[in-house]
Chains A and B, each alone.
Chain A
Amino acid sequence: MTTTTLNPSVSPSLAQSVTAQFARRKMKAMLLPLIVLAYLIYSAMAFDLPGLASRARMDNAAILMSDFWQHKTHVTRNNRSGVVSIAIDGEGKGTYPAGYLPEWVSETSDGTKVDLGNGHLITYFDGGARYEVPGYGDIVITQTADGVTLDAPQPLPEWISASESRVSVTTDAGRFSYTRAKAETLKYQAGWALFFFGIESPFHYMSWPEIAASVLWGERVEAERSNISAVLHDFWTNSMWRHGDVAWAMFETVLMAFLGTFGAALVALPLAFMAARNMMPFASLRFALRRVFDFIRGVDGLIWTIVLARAFGPGPMTGALAILLTDTGSFGKTFSEALENIDEKQVEGIRSTGANTVQRARFGVLPQVAPVLLSQVLYFLESNTRGATVIGAIVGGGIGLLLTQAIQTQKDWEDVAYYMVLIVLTVMAMDSFSGWLRRKLIKGNA
C-alpha cells in the first residue's frame, strides 16, 4: 500500500513552514562555503599568487632536493700547475690529502682518468681533456694560446655550452667544465658525505668491518688513546658535520624549553593562588593580577623575546627567560581557573582540623589540582620544544641559530636536512616522553 499524502496530523501550513525553514537552512549552509571561497580568492589576489609562478625559482628547488640526499665531489686540475685536487663539496675541509685517489679516479700515463659510471669517462691529459659520452661520442677540448677549442660530434646538443674561453657539459652522470685556468669534474653520489668521519680521520678510509676489527683487536691508530675512544672522538669532532656542536645546540634548545616551562609553572603557581576568586579575598589584587596575566599573554612571545634579547644578549638563558615570561601569563590564567573549579569540601575538611592557609592549600587544594596543572605543564613542554627552535632563531641560541645560519648561506642544504631530522626526532621524543609521564602521574601506574 502506498500513501501519497503526508501524515494527516501535520497541517499543510506547518509542513510548508518546515519545508521553507529547511530551504532557508540549506541556503545558509551553502552561503558559508561561498563566503570562504570568496575570501580565499581575495587573499590569493592580495598575496599575488598569480605572480608567484614567475618569482618561484625551480632551479633552487632542484639544488635543494639534490643536496638533501646526495653529495658531489669536485675533481679539479689546475691547468697552470697541473696539480689535481679532489674535494668533497668543493670545500677546504673536504679536500683529500695529496696523493690519495678514490677508486673512481686513477692516474695513468695518458693523464688523470675520472670514471663517472655508466661508461662516462673523463681524461685530463696534458693541454686538454676528453669526455667520452656513451651514445654520443668523444668531446675533446684542447687548450690554445688564447682560449679553448672544442672538438665534438656536430650538431652540438644543448647540454654542451661552449664559448671561446669555456666549455661546460652537463649529463646525468655529472658535470664537467673546462677553462684555461682549470678543468673541473663534479661527480654526484647518494648519501651524506663524511657524515661519520671527517676526511682527516683515518677511519674515513676504512670500511665498517675494518673499523669494528680495529676497535676490537687492531693496533692503536693513535698511540695516546684506544681505538674506540679515537672512533668516538673523530665522530664527535667531525669538521664537516660538527656532531658535537650540533648535539650541544639541540641540548640547549631542549634546555630552554625545560627551564622556561617549569620555571613559568613555579612562578605562576603562587600567583594563580592569589588570582583565584576562592583563595584571594582582596578583589582589587585579584583583578590586578588577572590584568597582568592578560597583558603578558597579549604582548606576545615575539615582543618579550626581542626585549629580553636586548637585555641579556644571545644565548639559551635569554630564550629560557622569554619562554618563562610568556608562559607565566598562560599558566597564571589556566591555573587560577583550575583553582576556582575545585571541590570546596576537602578544604573545609582540612579547615575543620585547624589547619592554616598554607596547610589548607597544600593538603586541601593541591592534591585536587595537581594532575590538571601537571598535564597542562607537560602539554606546554611539548609545544615549547618546538617553539624554542624559533625563539633560538630570534635570540641566537640552540639549534634554531644553526638552522637559520645554514639556510641563509643557501649552500649547505644537507646540514639543513640533518637539523630538520634531529628537530623532528627530538620533538617526537619529547612528545612521547611527556605523554608517558602524564599517563604515569595522572592515572597512577597505568
Chain B
Amino acid sequence: MPAVQETIDQVKAIDVDQYKYGFVSDIDSEKGAKGLSEETVRFISAKKQEPEWMTEWRLDALRRFQTMEEPNWARVDYPKIDFDALYYWASPKSVEGPKSLDEVDPELLATYEKLGIPLREQEILAGVEPKNRVAVDAVFDSVSVVTTFKEELKKAGVIFCSISEAIREHPELVKKYLGSVVPVTDNYYATLNSAVFSDGSFVYIPEGVRCPMELSTYFRINEMNTGQFERTLIIAEKGSYVSYLEGCTAPQRDENQLHAAVVELVALDDAEIKYSTVQNWFPGDSEGKGGIYNFVTKRGDCRGKNSKISWTQVETGSAITWKYPSCILRGDNSVGEFYSIAVSNGYQQIDSGTKMIHLGKNTSSRIISKGISAGKSSNTYRGLVSAHRKASNARNFTQCDSLLIGQDCGAHTVPYIESKNASAVFEHEATTSKISDDQMFYCLQRGLDEEGAVALIVNGFVKDVIQQLPMEFAVEAQKLISISLEGSVG
C-alpha cells in the first residue's frame, strides 16, 4: 500500500507538530468592516455590488442575530468570541471579482501551487482527455479568486461560479433557493453567516445533466483577525448528478480565527449530490494555542422523490469543530448518507455528527462515523435520527466507532433517536476501541516502525469511509490522517 509508505516517509520528514499548510502568503490585502454593525453589512454588500434585496436580506439577518444567544450545548470549551474585534472583509488587492488567470496576482497563484491546488486548466491534447480533471473555485479570505473550467461546464449547462457572481448573474435562482434549506434564523452562527457571508461557491446542475467533472472549492484564510464566512449553494435539478469537494487550510497563527459557514444543498426528483469535505484548517499548536474555530451549518434537502444526498467528511483540522452535515429526507424514497472520519490530536475539540430527518415515505439513511482521538483531544459524535409521523417505512442504520490513542483523550457518542411512526426501523451500533499493545507489537514484529504501525491500523479503521471519497482524494485523505496523528504514540 504505497499511501502508507508515503505517509511514513512524510511523517519522518516532518519535525514535531508541523502543520504543512501553516505558511502565510505576503499579499497586499484590503481589510475592512471591523466590528459587527449595519455599516459592516452594508460595506460587504456594496463591495460585492449586490442588489438591494440581498442587502435587505443581510440586514434582516443581522437584526435577528442581535437578539440571539450563543448556544452552549456542544461539548466544546472556548473563550467568548468578541465579534466587534473581528474584521469581516479581507480581499487581495489585485482582485476585483474573479477574472482570467493571467490577471491574478502571481503570489496568489504561487500560494495555490504550494497548496497543491491546480488553477491552470489542463489542455485537452489531440482529443485525449486527461484523467481526473477537477474544476476549482478558489476562495481566498473573503473573495473568490478564480474559478476554472467555467466555459467547459457552461457547455453542459452547468453553472459553477462564486456565490457573489451568482447573486449578480442568476438572482432568480439565488432568490428561490438561498435560505430555503438553512433558514436565516436556523441557529446562531447560521444567522451570523447570513448577515456577513463573504464568498463561497454556487453550483446549478440543469435537469438530466450528469456534471462532466468533479467540482471543488478550496478555502484559504490568510489574513489575521479575519473571520471567513463561506456560503455555498448547490442545486441539482431533476435527474441530475454532481460530485463536489471542498478543501480548507489556514496559516499557523497564535490567535484563533473564525470560520462560520453555511452550505445548502437542494436535490430535486431523482437527483443525486455527493458532497465531500477534506477539512484541514490549522488545528492549533502542540500547546493548544491558535487554530480555527470551525462553526459550520451544512444541510441538504432531498426535496424531490428518489433523490439522494451523500455527505463524506474527513475532519483533521481546526481547534474546534462544530458541524453536523444533515439531510432532510422530504421526497418519498429519498436517501441520505453521512460518512465521517474525525481525527483529533493535541488540544483539538470536535463535536460533530449528522441529522437525518425522515419526512417522506420509504426514506432511508445511513450513518458511518469513525472518530479517532489522540493527544489531549476530545472527540464527540452527536447525531439525530428522526422519523416524522408520515414517514412510513423509514429506515436508518447508524454505526459509530471510536478509536482512542493514548491515555489523555476522550471520545463520546451522543445519539438521539426519535420515531413518531411505528413502521420506522432504526438501528444503532457503536464501538469504542484502543489500538492495543498486542496490535502494535504484532506490526513491529513484522518490521513496521511505530508510526507505520499506527498509520496501518488507523487506515484499516477508517477504510469504510475512505472508500466513499472520490478516488483522487482518497489517497490524499489517508496521508492527511496519518500526518494528523503524527507523534501520538511513544
Query: A and B from one assembly?
Result: no
